[in-house]
Structure 1
C-alpha cells in the first residue's frame, strides 16, 4: 500500500517541497516573494548599492528564510509532524536559532559599515524572526503582526540601508507591501484543505500563483533596471 494521502495544510506541501523537511522549511515559493519585495524596496530607493543589497539579502536569508521558518516548523509540530514524522525537532530548532543569530550578525556588520541607526532594524528584525513563529507575544502572531514582521519592516530596512534615510516614498512603499504580504498570507490560509472546500482552496492556490508571478516579475525587472 502507498502512503496515505494527507490533506494539504500549506500550499507548498507538494511536489519537490514535500521531499524533505529541511528543504520544505525554507519555504522557497514564499521566501522568493520576500526577496522580491526586498529587491523592489532596494531598487526604488534614491540610491542603489549592490553590496548593500546583497548583504540585505544574506541577512534575510539567514534570519527570516532559514531561522524563522525552521523555528516555525518546530513550534507547529502538530501541524507538520504527519507530513514529516521522522523530523528531528531539536536539530531544526537549533539551526533556526543559529541562523537568526547569523542574520543579526550580518545586520550588525552592515550597521558598523554603513549606518549605526540600522541597528534598530537589526534588533527588531531579530525579535520578529525569533518570537513570531513561537507566537509570543500573542499579538505578534496576527495578521497585523505578520504584515509588520514580513512586509513593513524588511521593506523599510531595505529602503533605508541604500541611502541611509527614510522618506515618504519609503514609508508608503513599506505600508503598501506590508498590507500586500497580509493578503498573500490570507490566500495561503485559504488553501488549507482541512478547513475549506475544494473550490475555495483551488482558487486560492491560483491567486497565490498569480501573486507570486507578479512579485517575481517586478523584482526582476527593477533589479535589471539598476544593473544595466
Structure 2
C-alpha cells in the first residue's frame, strides 16, 4: 500500500527514535543511555572546558566522565524508575544500582575536584546532586521538573561547571554561552515533548490540511513525528560536531 502524503520515512514503533524494535537487553541499555541526548549534553561540558585560556585536559576528561555518570547513567536510570517511560524490561534493582553507582561515581570525581580546585567547587557538586535527584525524582513538588528546569540543568549547568573547573572563575562570555545552551536545551525539550507525546500516548491521528491551491494532505502519525525527530537529530549532531571542531582547533588541527 502506498503511503499517504507526509507518510514517508514512517517511524518504527518505539518510545523514542533510538529505542525501536524488539525488546533485547542491548536495546534497553541503549534506550536508557539516550545516546544522542547524552552526547549532546556532554558536548556542552567539552565546549565549556574549551573556554579556558589554557585547557587542563585531565580536568576536561574528568568532567566528561562525571557528567556521563551523573546524567547519562544516574539521571536516566532514575527517570526510567518512574513509570517506565521507555518501556524497558531492565530489573528495578539494576536501575537502582546504576543510579546509585553513577551518582556516587560522579560525586567521587567531584570531591577530587574540590581537593584540587578549592572549596567553592563543592557548590557545583551539591547543586549537581540536587538537580539530578530533584528533577528526575520530581522532588520539591516537581518545581525542578519543568521546561525551564531542564534547560538550566542540562544546558547551562554543564557549561558553567566545566568552565569553572578550568579557570575557577565565571567570565561574562561563559554566562552568555550558558544562556545559549539554555535556549538550545529549551528547543530540545519542546521538540522531544512533542515526539514523546506522539510516540507514547497517541492512539490515532485524524484530519487533513487544505492549502490555498487546493492541495490536501492527510494528517498522520508520521506527518507529525518525522520533522520533529529530524530536527532533534540535526540539533544533536550540530552540537556534537561543534564541540569536536572546537576541540580540534585547540589541539592545533
Question: TM-score, normalised on structure 2?
Answer: 0.80
Q: How many residues align?
A: 220
Partner of 2:168: 164
- 1:180 alignment counterpart: 184
Alignment of 1:80-99 (within 5 A): 80-81=86-87, 84=88, 86-99=89-102
Equivalent position of 1:40 in the other structure: 47
In the TM superposition, what is the alpha-carbon distance from 1:7 to its structure 2 partner?
A: 4.3
- Residue 63 of structure 1 pairs with residue 70 of structure 2: yes
The alpha carbon displacement at 1:48 in A equals 1.3
- For 1:101 and 1:155, the matched residues in 2 are separated by 21
Structure 1 distance, partners of 2:231, 2:238, is 11
Query: Are 1:107 and 2:106 counterparts?
Result: no
Q: 1:25 aligns with which of 32, 45, 67?
A: 32
- Classify the secondary structure of the residue corresponding to 2:103: helix
The structure with the larger Rg is 2
- Structure 1 position 146 matched with structure 2 position 146: no
CA distance in 2, matches of 1:182, 1:17: 30
| Offset at residue 218 of structure 1 (A) | 0.6
Match of 1:223 in 2: 247
Report if aligned partners of 1:187, 1:204 keep a CA contact under 8 Å in 2: yes
Unaligned runs of 5+ in 2: 1-10, 206-220
Do the aligned partners of residues 6 and 134 (structure 1) sit closer, same or farther apart at CA in structure 2, a change above 3 Å counting?
Answer: farther
Distance 1:94 1:44 in 2: 35
Which consecutive residues of structure 1, in runs of 5 or more, have no partner in the other structure? none
Indicate conservation of the 8 Å contact 1:152/1:177, yes or no.
Answer: yes
CA distance in 2, matches of 1:16, 1:177: 35
Q: 1:16 to 1:30 in 2, by over 3 A?
A: farther
Q: Deviations over 1:70-121 (max 9, x none)?
A: 11111132x333xx3x320122122212210110110110111123211111
> Conserved in 1, the CA contact under 8 Å of 2:69 and 2:105?
yes
Question: Aligned residue for 1:75?
Answer: 82
Residues 23-48 of structure 1, C-alpha deviations (whole Å, 9 max, x = no match): 32111111000111111111123331
Residues in 2 aligned to 1:124 and 1:16: alpha-carbon distance in whole angstroms: 38
Contact preservation (8 Å) 2:32, 2:86 = no
- SS of the aligned residue for 1:190 comes to helix
Could you tell me whether the CA contact under 8 Å between 1:42 and 1:159 is conserved in 2? yes
1:12 aligns with 2:8: no
Contact 1:17–1:24 (CA under 8 A) maintained in structure 2: no
Higher share in helix: 1
TM-score (normalizing by structure 1) = 0.89
